Structure formats: C-alpha cells, structure tokens
A and B are shown apart, each in its own frame.
Chain A
C-alpha cells in the first residue's frame, strides 16, 4: 500500500493466508471457521484483511516484561494485529481509506462504513505455538435464542479511523505467562473491569496475583484463581453442581443475565500407570441459548416445594475456551453416571449434531464448580438470591396463586432506574416517587416472576450490597409489576403486598376498557 499507510497491508481473505500466517494451530482453524460463518462467505461475500505490521499490545508487553524478556530465547516485544472486514474487497477497502485521507468531509462516513463491516481483530504474538493473542470478534447475530450476555465495547483505531466493536477478549494460553485458569480469569475480568471502570489486568498480573508458588505452567487451583480475583480488587462467588444440577444451571444463567461471565471449572479422569489422573480445565461462559420453558426444579431441601427457575434447562452455552476459540458452542447435559457420590453434569466441547472437523476432537468433561468475578460491593451471591426467592415465594403466592417461573439477576440500581425510565410498559404516575424518593443501592438483585417466558408479572427488587443478618425476608427496595395493569384486579393485591413489605410500587400500564364488541366476543 502507498506511503500514508505503509505499516498497514491490506489483503484478500483466504483461509490459507490466515492459517499460514497464524501457524495452522487449532485456534487458527477455529478463527477461520468462525470468521467465514460470521461473514457468510458461503454466499460469496468477500472479506478483507488489514494487518498492522507493528502493534504494541499492553497485555503481551506485560507478559514480555515479566517473563519473555528474561528468557534465554527471547521473542520480539512487538506484535502484529489483524483486522477483518466483511463484505468488502481489498481494493474497495483501500479506495475507501484513500478517499478519506484526501477529503476530510468523508472521514465520518468512512469510519461509520468501516465500523458496520468490522468483524474484529486478532493480535498475533511473536510466540511460536501460541500466536493467538488478544482477540475480539463480533458475535453471531442474536436470533431470539442466542444470548451473548457478557460482551463489552472495545475501541479500535485503524488507519486513523476509530471503530467500535462489541465482544469479549479471548486469547490462547502460552503456558509461559498464563495457562487456562489465568486466561479464563483474564477474559472474565475484561467484562467486570469494564463495568467497574477499572483497567483490565494482564495475564501476567493475574498469575502474579494468584500467589501460586509454582511455575505458571503448573496451573492454578480454584482457591488460587479466587485469590487472584480478590487481590485484583473484585468479589468472588463459587458454586457447585453436585447435589442439584438444575439449580446449578439456573445459577449460571442468573449470572449471565447479570452480564457477568461464569468460569466453569471442569475435570476429566484418565487412567495412568500409577492410578487415575485428574485433569482440570477452565473455560469462560459468555452466553447461552434460550432454554425450553423452565421445568420445575426439585429443591432437594426438606420442606421446600419444587420451584420453576429460568435457566434450569439451559443446555447450549457459548464459551471462550483457550484450547479452541471465542464464543464456541458447547453443550451441557445431565449424565446418568455417578462420580464422587453425585450424578455428573457434563460438557460436550462441541456440537452434537455438527459434522466432525479434522482440526478439533470433541470431548466430554465433568463440571466441578463455577466461579464468578464480580464487583466488590456486589456482596450477595447467586445462592443468596435463590434463598431470597424461596423466602419471598410464599408471600407472592398468597397474593397471586399462580405457578410463576422465577428468573434472577443482579444489576446496578442506576441501570434498573434507567430501564424503568425508558419503559413503555409501566404506569408513569408512580415513576416520580421511585425516581425521586426511593434509594437504590449500587447493586440490586431482581427476582422476576414470569407467567410464561418473556412475560414478566412482577420484579421484586432487593438490596444486593448486603447479606441479611436476620434473613426472615430480604430488604425489598421496590416492587415493579410490569404485568399487573394499574386498573386490573391484580393491582389492589400488588398495593397490599408493597404496603406489607414497606416499599414503593410501580404498576403496569392501564388496560384499555373493552369495547362492547370485545365484551360480546368474550361472552
């Protein structure tokens, strides 16, 4: 390319060009497959690649400073960065850039045009065997079932143009500065640091914060991963599938619905010469496919009736797996096999109904635990939100004798208020009280009762910055009853419920009175 972009080379997408450039590893094959599907290459759409020949990546540079600079065979300190653009040819991309260089009035339009076709970037580290560094790719379009819950915006500069992409950074483990455990924490903190306004820690910083006395390649245990998250200034939650796999799935979905990534800790046993060897592997769940309508979850708790929980049937997860790639589709299923006294919850690393590919061998792991990095002041965990749900359910049921499905999530008080302000479903007369006279804590728990999927009846909003000392009922901030119209028979009951709990109430938008024709029809 000409002088103004001398370090940026633009070339046409071919799978061979990418595979040759990135070393033909599993992660490179996955990237090719993912980008080609994303760009709908099968329909003949072209893809252009722009490569920055010299790119300084903060994350790799920190790994370099703390590990590679002291290696006997020291790699380079600089990286290359690949950008991918859909539906454009190299010639068109170059012409578009050149036109914006020549005419300032075209810059904004060119930036917008580039951003609309931008699929993401990959930082290529100068590490043989582990070239796939920080990579952010756009997700597949949301089709009503796919939920990519933990993406965040990234700002990228290409030839002077500022582009924004929503994704979640992924990278391949290099074993020198990070392994799967630290890489999983690194990906998860990409989202959590963004939410809390902090700078994302580098893989090396995570490994150091774990306090592990062993070389990085020895991996981390659960406690060391939690230690790293805590020392970096975040809260940690951990939960286990053992005694109740359906409840565990709904916990995973509750965190994803809270826009917090879930790190799944998986194990696999294999025979060794001296006995069984247990392998451990960590992946980050970034989303899920909408499960079937919730089935009732047996609580396996004496005296607690079964409860329908959103996500308890979730069986398709999207994950960042440093062995494979970003937003990979994995399947979760309840096995009939027992392990350590519990029925196993297993993960198929792949898609059961997809044709096999030569570059990836699907395998099955058993889920051992989940850990979640969260904002420090979000002190309630997902299990406490479940306790809140079962504590409130009898009261809700007295007023509304309906078999609700309960969905749980955490969010910020400010976000929730903002959502209400923009909602077209609520009675606006009660909004001023909620906005002006109600104190929302920084983090709140939302326990939502749904009549059917997508049809919320009411939200019970609770403080999530504190765990109750005398847990008779959680501290309720407000009740927001989108699904109870202000002029319906449910409204007086909702008012009594709110009065009893001592909290404000927002009801749903008024129903229009039925016309005589509608009444006749009904009769």
Chain B
C-alpha cells in the first residue's frame, strides 16, 4: 500500500515545484458538487460558531478603577 503523503509533502508538491506542461494538460478542476458541499459545510460551521458568540453576554456591574 502506498504511504499517505503528509500535509507538508502535499504542500511541497503543490507550491514548491514547477508545473510541467504535460501535467497541466491532465489537470481536472474540482467538481462543482464538491465545492457546493464545502460551502454548506462552512455555513454550518459558521452558524455553530455564531451560536457560541459571547457578545450578548451581560457585563456585570464590576467597577474598574
């Protein structure tokens, strides 16, 4: 079984080498369904984070002096 590349290996492969012409001709864009799924996931995460937001917390009347 081939080893799973680490995040650093993936980063090096994506950003630290020149894209060859032949490789470029075979690149496929990510399907739109994958992107829409990511947007939905992000929206769920943002809503969950917003639910935990503390700006509505009532400041107790401690006096700072």
Cα A500 to Cα B29 with chains together (Å)? 11
Asked if A490 and B15 make an inter-chain contact with CB atoms under 8 angstroms apart, the answer reads yes
CA A175 to CA B63, docked complex, whole Å: 13
Docked CA distance A175–B64 (Å): 12
> How many whole Å from A520's CB to the nearest CB in chain B?
15
In whole angstroms, what is the CA distance A388 to B63 when docked? 34
CA distance A394 to B29 in the complex (A): 17
B46 and A179: CB pair below 8 A? no
What is the bound-complex CA distance between A281 and B46, given in angstroms? Answer: 33
Q: Are B46 and A471 in contact (CB under 8 A)?
A: yes
Select which of B16, B24, B51 is within 8 A of A511 by beta carbon. Answer: B16
A514 touches B27 (CB 8 A): no
Q: Does residue A99 face the partner (Cβ distance < 8 Å to B)?
A: no
| Chain B 8-39 residues near chain A, CB threshold 8 A | 8, 10-11, 13-19, 23-24, 27, 29-30, 34-35, 38-39
A280 touches B45 (CB 8 A): no
A180 touches B17 (CB 8 A): no
Check A242/B59 contact, CB under 8 A, given A180-B65, A513-B18: no
> Given A180-B65, A221-B61, A238-B55, A394–B18 Cβ distance below 8 Å?
no
Is there a chain A Cβ closer than 8 Å to B2's Cβ? no
CB distance from A463 to the nearest CB of B (A): 16
- A386 to B42: give the CA distance in the assembly, Å: 12
Chain A residue nearest to B54 (CB atoms) is A240
Name the CB-closest residue of A to B24. A492
A240 pairs with B29, CB closer than 8 A: no
A45 interfacial by beta-carbon distance below 8 Å: no
A54 lies within 8 A of chain B by Cβ: no
A402 at the interface (CB under 8 A from B): yes
Is A369 a contact partner of B49 (Cβ separation < 8 A)? no
Question: Contact: A303 with B48, CB < 8 Å?
Answer: yes
B62 and A489 contacting across the interface, CB-CB below 8 Å: no
Question: B interface, by DSSP: helix, strand, loop or mixed?
Answer: helix
What are the residues of chain A within 8 A of B8 when measuring CB–CB? 451
Tell me the bound Cα distance from A500 to B45 in angstroms: 20
The answer for the CA separation of A303 and B50 in the assembled complex, in Å, is: 13
Residues of A within 8 A of B1 (CB): none
Near B by CB (< 8 A), chain A positions 153-208 give 175, 179-181, 184
Interface string of A461-482 (1 = CB under 8 A from B): 0000000000111000000000
Partner of B42, one of A219, A393, A401, A488: A393
Q: How far is the CB of B51 from chain A (nearest CB, A)?
A: 7
CA distance A390 to B49 in the complex (A): 8
A435: Cβ under 8 A from any B Cβ: no
Count B-side interface residues using an 8 Å CB cutoff: 42
Q: How far is the CB of A449 from chain B (nearest CB, A)?
A: 11
- Is A300 an interface residue when CB atoms closer than 8 A count as contact? yes
One of B11, B17, B23, B49 near A304 (C-beta < 8 A): B49
| A282, A381, A472: the one within 8 Å of B64 (CB) | A282
Within the complex, which residue of B45, B46, B57 is in contact with A240, where a contact is CB–CB below 8 Å? B57
- What is the interface size of chain A, counting residues whose CB is below 8 A from a CB of the partner? 73
User: CB within 8 Å of B: which of A485-511?
Assistant: 485, 487-493, 496, 500, 508, 511
CB-nearest residue of chain A relative to B19?
A489
Q: Tell me if A472 and B65 are in contact (CB < 8 A).
A: no
Min Cβ gap A390→B in Å is 4
Roughly how many angstroms separate A473 CA and B47 CA in the complex, as a whole number? 11
How far apart are the CA atoms of A398 and B29 in the complex, in Å? 11
User: Given the known A-B contacts A395-B38, A472-B39, are A221 and B55 also in contact in the complex, defined by CB atoms under 8 Å?
Assistant: no
Chain A residue with Cβ nearest B51: A301
Q: Which residues of A lie under 8 Å from residue B42 when comparing CB positions?
A: 390-395, 472-473
Please state if A402 and B10 are interface contacts (CB–CB under 8 Å).
yes
**A500–B35 CB distance below 8 A:** yes
Interface residue A429 (Cβ < 8 Å from any Cβ of B): no
Distance in angstroms between the alpha carbons of A159 and B57 in the assembled complex: 52
Given contacts A471-B43, A472-B43, contact A225 B49 (CB under 8 A): no
Given contact pairs A393-B45, A472-B43, A488-B16, A280 touches B63 in the complex (Cβ within 8 A): yes
A-chain residues with CB within 8 Å of residue B48 when the two chains form the complex? 299, 301-304, 390
A106 at the interface (CB under 8 A from B): no
Most buried by B among A223, A281, A391, A401: A391
Scan A246-289; emit 1 where CB is below 8 A from any B CB, else 0.
00000000000000000001010000000000101110000000
B residues apposed to A, CB below 8 Å: 7-8, 10-11, 13-19, 23-24, 27, 29-30, 34-35, 38-39, 41-55, 57, 59, 61-65
Contacts beyond the supplied A240-B57, A383-B53, A393-B45: 17 A-B pairs with Cβ under 8 Å? A181-B64, A222-B62, A238-B55, A242-B57, A243-B54, A244-B52, A280-B64, A299-B49, A301-B45, A301-B49, A302-B48, A383-B55, A390-B42, A394-B41, A395-B39, A489-B17, A514-B18
- Can you give 16 contacting A-B residue pairs, CB < 8 Å? A181-B64, A221-B61, A238-B55, A239-B54, A243-B54, A267-B62, A301-B51, A303-B45, A381-B55, A394-B39, A471-B50, A473-B39, A487-B18, A488-B19, A493-B30, A514-B18
Residues on A close to B: CB < 8 A? 175, 179-181, 184, 217-223, 225, 237-240, 242-244, 265, 267, 278, 280-282, 299-304, 368-369, 381, 383, 386-388, 390-395, 397-403, 451, 457, 471-473, 483-485, 487-493, 496, 500, 508, 511, 513-514
In the A-B complex, the 8 residue pairs with the smallest Cβ-Cβ separation, listed nearest first, are A219-B65, A219-B63, A391-B46, A222-B59, A280-B64, A490-B14, A391-B42, A181-B64
